[in-house]
Structure 1
Amino acid sequence: MSTDPQNPHTDKSAAEEPTSASAGSTQDSGSESEDRLADSQPAQAPESGASEEVGDPSPDSDGLQAEVRELKEKLLMAHADMQNVRRRSERDVENAHKYALEKFVAELLPVVDNLERATAAIDSGSEAFAAVTEGIELTLKNLLDVLARFNVEQLNPKGEAFNPDHHEAMAMVPQPDAKPNTIIEVYQKGYLLNGRLVRPAMVVVAQAAPA
């Protein structure tokens, strides 16, 4: 291609064309880099919305707290019930050991009564019955000692105040020499086993003299 010597602008324009093309290429590369940088950055949620979601309690939180309180109360009640059952069981076992002989003692008391009646009926002044009387008294004493070793206590409340928990009044008799409500005679002795009444004492109680 030949240049026109008469047109000096032709060479200048041709020389400037590569520069313009290079600038355009540089601008395109910069735009592509910015696009890739924007794509690589993660999207950020609005801070105001996130803070509102964290700050607001769940609508079911009150119900859950009430359920937790109810479960705690039930747990405490169940624990208290278990403690009561344990104490009741221990008390039942203790009572079973303490009062296991109650029926046996009750069946044995008539034997004691008969021995006491026998010693009272025999004439202690008679030499013929002296050995028999001594034998009965020793038998009665040994039997009472055995009962005492098993915490059996005899009630012979003559002269004491009447106690409805341990005594059963068979009669009330005016007695000027005794205080009212005092036991003046014992028909049948009573017995306790470890403090529990096995048989009440049958007694006669003094009554206040009529005015």
Structure 2
Amino acid sequence: MTDAHHPTPDAAAAPEPGLSPEAELARLRDQLAEAQLALTAARDAQLRAAAEAENRIRRAENEAAKARKFASEEVLKDFLHITDSLELGLKAAGTVPDGVAKALVDGVQMTLKQLLSALEKHGVRQIDPHGQPFNAEHHQAMSMAPGGELPANHVLSVMQKGYSLHDRLLRPALVVVSQGGG
């Protein structure tokens, strides 16, 4: 099927009646130039389409990798509460009579160590910023207090440790910030 804009090759090559050979040559050169422009435009469009398809594939692969990397985030957050409870239990162990406290502390320490090891295996890192400069991206200030020898805006004490998952903050550390010497 042919139309006025896309003649068949035979029709395009057929000389027009009444044209001089020079005029016919000029007409054919114009047709060749148009065909070359159309070919260049088609090649450019094809390259752009291929590049766009490659970019879509790359974005999809990156999104899938990110989803796999952080898929366990909510489950791991639940384990942080268990870690907190074990750490609080270890702090409270000082109030238990010595005979009971040793066995209790050993068991809780072992459990906490195993839990932290399992979390670390899955990309969870503990944030314990005691003595470090306050960082609003990783710490949540609960209060300020005189810091003695600690400079102002440094973490005086940690009320609750923070955690990150593959460098993404899971939970900020809850801290008391130093007001400076005083």
Under TM normalisation by the shorter chain, which class is it? 0.7 to 0.9
**2:98 is equivalent to residue 98 of structure 1:** no
CA distance 1:164–1:62, change in 2 (3 Å): farther
Aligned partner of 2:174 in structure 1 is: 202
1:156, distance to aligned residue in structure 2 (A)? 0.7
Deviation at 1:185, TM superposition (A): 0.8
Q: Deviations over 1:105-152 (max 9, x none)?
A: 101110110011011011266223321222111111111111122222
Match of 1:122 among 93, 106, 127: 93
Larger radius of gyration: 1
Confirm or deny: 8 A CA contact 2:130 2:157 kept in the other structure.
yes
Change (3 A) 1:60 1:205: farther
Hey, what does 2:145 align to over in structure 1? 173
SS across alignment from 1:127: helix
For residue 121 of structure 1, what is the amino acid of its counterpart?
A: A
**Structure 1: distance between partners of 2:22 and 2:31:** 19
| Identity between Structure 1 and Structure 2 (%) | 33
Cα separation, 1, equivalents of 2:179 and 2:31: 77
Out of 57, 64, 83, which is 1:112 matched to?
83
Mean alpha-carbon deviation: is it higher for 67-76 or for 131-140? Answer: 67-76
* 1: CA distance, partners of 2:140 / 2:177: 9
Write the deviation string for residues 19-55 of structure 1: whole angstroms up to 9, x where unpaired: xxxxxxxxxxxxxxxxxxxxxxxxxxxxx92133113
Specify the SS of the correspondent of 2:133: coil
Q: Can you give the 5+ residue segments of structure 2 that lack an aligned partner in the other structure?
A: 1-18
Counterpart secondary structure, 1:175 = coil
Q: TM-score, normalised by structure 2?
A: 0.75
Deviation at 1:176, TM superposition (A): 4.5
SS of equivalent to 2:131: coil
- CA deviations on 1:152-194 (whole Å, 9 max, x unpaired) are 2111110112222221222233425212221111111111122
- 1: CA distance, partners of 2:141 / 2:44: 52
In structure 1, which of residues 159, 164, 170 is the aligned counterpart of residue 136 of structure 2? 164
Other-structure match for 2:9: none
Considering Cα pairs closer than 8 Å and 6+ residues apart, tell me whether 1 or 2 has the greater RCO: 2
Q: Is the Cα–Cα contact under 8 Å of residues 163 and 172 in structure 2 kept in the other structure?
A: yes
**Cα gap change, 1:160 to 1:64, in 2 (>3 Å):** same
- 1:38-187 maps to which residues of 2 (within 5 A)? 49-56=20-27, 67-123=38-94, 126-187=98-159
Structure 1 gap segments, 5+ residues each: 1-47
CA contact (8 A) 2:149 2:181 kept: no
Q: CA RMSD in A?
A: 2.6
The TM-score normalised by the length of structure 1 is 0.66
Structure 1 residues 67 and 169 mapped into 2: Cα distance closer, same or farther (>3 Å)? Answer: farther
Rounded to whole Å, the distance in 1 between the matches of 2:40 and 2:181 is 69
